[in-house]
Amino acid sequence: MRIYKKLTLLILTFQFLTVCCFSPIVHAESTIPSERPEQSAGFKGVYGPNYPMVQDSYFADDFGNILMIVNVLGMVNRPGQLVVPEDADLSTLITIAGGIREEGNPKKVMVIRKVPESNGTQAYKVDLNPFFEKGDRSTFVILKPNDTVVIPEKKGLSLALASQIISLVSGSLNSYWVLKQIK
């Protein structure tokens, strides 16, 4: 009987540590408050109050900067709709979005247009590794208003998935043991 009590205590402790220690790490990125990017002398007034409701076109802020709205989804620190300068490229967009998270895959970035190009192309696959390794921007696609940039997740076992598996297994073992004790 003593061994069962010790085993139960060990399982409960393990579950507690899994939930308390791994959950904040796994979900920390969702609690990052959105911050405004640093403003340089050449680019001002990103957060003006007079932005248009129609997002499919360029517009100007109160300082005359030509801006556009671009969507960023996936493995970045601050996904969502971003207001960027008209000449923003993928590196600028990812910087404003807080950078690619560790589990993001920079090799398979997708740029998706709301309206297809004249040649019918609506989606572009971009490998950002040449840029990160050598500063090569030749693979970049010119961004247009209301483009959606998707940073996919790397395949494989992540800390989040490992934590979920451990929690499920330990919870199942604990439930099994409790049910066995009741019988």
Burial level of 149, CB count in 10 A (0-12/13-18/19+)?
Answer: buried
pLDDT tens-place string over residues 92-147 = 999 999 999 998 999 999 999 887 788 888 899 999 999 999 999 988 988 998 89
Q: What pTM was estimated for this model as a whole?
A: 0.58
- CA dist., res. 78 & res. 36, Å (int): 11
Of 58, 25, 62, give the one whose Cα is nearest residue 158: 25
For residue 11, how many C-alpha atoms fall within 13 Å in the half-sphere facing its CB? 17
Cα–Cα distance for residue pair 140/126, rounded to 1 Å: 7
What three-state secondary structure class fits 92? helix
- The CATH number for 43-151, chosen from 3.10.560.10, 3.40.50.10490, 3.30.1330.60, 3.50.50.60, is 3.10.560.10
- Please report, for the chain, the start and end positions of each structural domain, with discontinuous segments joined by +: 2-28+159-182, 43-151
